[in-house]
Amino acid sequence: GAVVSQHPSWVICKSGTSVKIECRSLDFQATTMFWYRQFPKQSLMLMATSNEGSKATYEQGVEKDKFLINHASLTLSTLTVTSAHPEDSSFYICSAPRPSLIAFEQFFGPGTRLTVL
């Protein structure tokens, strides 16, 4: 089956620094990828849609200057949390859809746990 990877799997950083998270589709091309954030004991909240070759689309309430998204190629999207603060500590998950004949399959990465001190 299709695999989506994320790197790093966890990161600890100091407040004020920027952190980059990579999301790769390993065996299929993805013109669209999605970024989610999940706080402890809560559900996944969609942050933004990453579009290859164009600007990302952000969900309401998500600061685009805070969470920079770059979809550099058909297999790579990056999320940069700029000037991270403790409240940005969360589990970040990406996904990439692969269309099939009847619907599409959404493949999720294993997640990146960000802790901001």
Residues that bind another protein (CB under 8 A): 32, 34, 36, 41-46, 49, 59-60, 91, 93, 95, 97, 99, 102-106, 108-111, 113
Of 18 and 59, which CB lies nearer to another protein in the complex structure? Answer: 59
Cβ neighbours of residue 87 under 8 Å, at least 6 residues apart? 116
Q: Residue 61: what are its φ and ψ, rounded to 5°? A: 90, -5
Of 14 and 41, which CB lies nearer to another protein in the complex structure? Answer: 41
How near is the Cβ of 96 to another protein at its closest, in Å?
Answer: 9
Three-class SS state of 84: coil
How near is the Cβ of 52 to another protein at its closest, in Å?
Answer: 13
How near is the Cβ of 88 to another protein at its closest, in Å?
Answer: 17
Cα–Cα distance measured from residue 14 to residue 117, given in angstroms and rounded to the nearest whole number: 5
Cis peptide before 8 (omega within 30 of 0): yes
How near is the Cβ of 50 to another protein at its closest, in Å?
Answer: 11
Of 15 and 106, which CB lies nearer to another protein in the complex structure? Answer: 106
Of 66 and 113, which CB lies nearer to another protein in the complex structure? Answer: 113
Cα–Cα distance measured from residue 14 to residue 32, given in angstroms and rounded to the nearest whole number: 31
Cα–Cα distance measured from residue 63 to residue 50, given in angstroms and rounded to the nearest whole number: 14
